[in-house]
């Protein structure tokens, strides 16, 4: 698949116990707190030029029940940019309630393996407002807030999702998430190419060089990157990264 895609820089806001945190390798007991007001954080990234936000209800991801819907609704009401929301969304009713609250996109993860019929129905009703998050460790999909390891290859799940109408996935290499090790470029590109589905990359971004490397592979179908710890620890400045992206697009 050789396509021309827009490339988007998407700040992450991960919510645990009502606070903004980042996990390391998806482990709940390895969380670093970066703020106690997710709405204020959303407004900060909007001011700095974000065109979309990636909000994850970590408590929901671990428990299987969306926990921070009210915080999410407050974020939707505070910012003017679209917000994609994930974490513990495993039923059609949850999908529809969160879209009604104001989410531009909802992210389904565990349901993609355990109940693909829910994903298929959600996509048939809501189209590209439904995104599938594929979180993988050593190329195999992890479930239930990354706590359960499956034997399903990430590429195979991406193909299945493409076949039922999913229009994009978010691919996260869990071993790199929050570790500043650099993005798993080859695996991210392989998923996009072999499944022929647009991919938003996640996990491991350490600096602007990782963003550039992903941008250079956009023809494979990589259409953006989620920025987490590198953004919060000021290894990447969002305004500067946005200007750099605009310059690359001109060249």
Q: Where do the domains of the chain lie, and which CATH numbers do they carry? A: 8-250 (3.20.20.70)
**Residues catalogued as catalytic:** 14, 135
Its pTM stands at 0.93
- Give me the tens of pLDDT residue by residue for the chain, a chain 251 residues long: 333 358 999 999 999 999 999 876 556 667 789 999 999 999 999 999 999 999 999 998 888 777 899 999 999 999 999 999 999 899 999 999 999 999 999 999 999 999 999 999 999 999 999 999 999 988 889 876 566 778 899 999 999 999 999 999 999 988 765 567 788 999 999 999 999 999 999 988 999 999 999 999 999 999 999 999 999 999 999 999 999 999 999 87
Cα separation, 224 vs 76, in Å, equals 21
Query: What pLDDT sits at residue 145?
Result: 52
* End-to-end Cα separation, the chain, in angstroms: 22
Query: What pLDDT sits at residue 178?
Result: 55
The angle, 0 to 180 degrees and rounded to 10, between the axes of the packed helices 116-126 and 154-163 is 40
3-class secondary-structure state, position 80: coil
CA angle 90, 199, 78 (to 5 degrees): 65
Query: What pLDDT sits at residue 179?
Result: 60
Supply the DSSP symbol for 100.
H
Query: What pLDDT sits at residue 146?
Result: 60
Query: What pLDDT sits at residue 144?
Result: 63
Query: What pLDDT sits at residue 25?
Result: 57
Query: What pLDDT sits at residue 2?
Result: 37
Query: What pLDDT sits at residue 213?
Result: 96
Query: What pLDDT sits at residue 22?
Result: 81
């Amino acid at each position: 698949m050789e396509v021309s895609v827009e490339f988007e820089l998407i700040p992450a806001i991960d919510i645990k116990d009502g606070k903004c945190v980042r996990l390391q390798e998806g482990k709940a007991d390895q969380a670093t707190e970066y703020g106690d007001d997710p709405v204020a954080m959303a407004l900060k990234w909007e001011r700095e030029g974000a065109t979309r936000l990636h909000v994850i209800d970590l408590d929901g991801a671990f428990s299987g029940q969306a926990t921070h819907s009210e915080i999410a609704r407050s974020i939707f009401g505070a910012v003017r940019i679209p917000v994609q929301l994930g974490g513990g969304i495993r039923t059609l009713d949850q999908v529809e309630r969160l879209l009604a609250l104001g989410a531009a996109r909802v992210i389904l993860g565990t349901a993609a393996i355990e109940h693909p019929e829910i994903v298929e129905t959600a996509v048939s009703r809501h189209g590209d407002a439904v995104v599938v998050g594929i979180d993988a460790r050593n190329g195999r999909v992890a479930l239930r807030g990354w706590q359960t390891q499956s034997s399903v290859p990430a590429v195979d799940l991406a193909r299945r999702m493409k076949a039922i109408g999913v229009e994009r996935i978010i691919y996260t290499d869990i071993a790199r998430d929050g570790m500043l090790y650099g993005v798993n470029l080859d695996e991210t590109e392989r998923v996009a190419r072999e499944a022929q589905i647009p991919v938003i990359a996640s996990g491991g971004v350490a600096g602007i060089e990782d963003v550039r490397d992903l941008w250079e592979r956009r023809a494979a179908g990589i259409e953006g990157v989620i920025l987490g710890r590198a953004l919060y620890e000021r290894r990447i400045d969002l305004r500067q990264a946005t200007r750099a992206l605009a310059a690359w697009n001109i060249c």
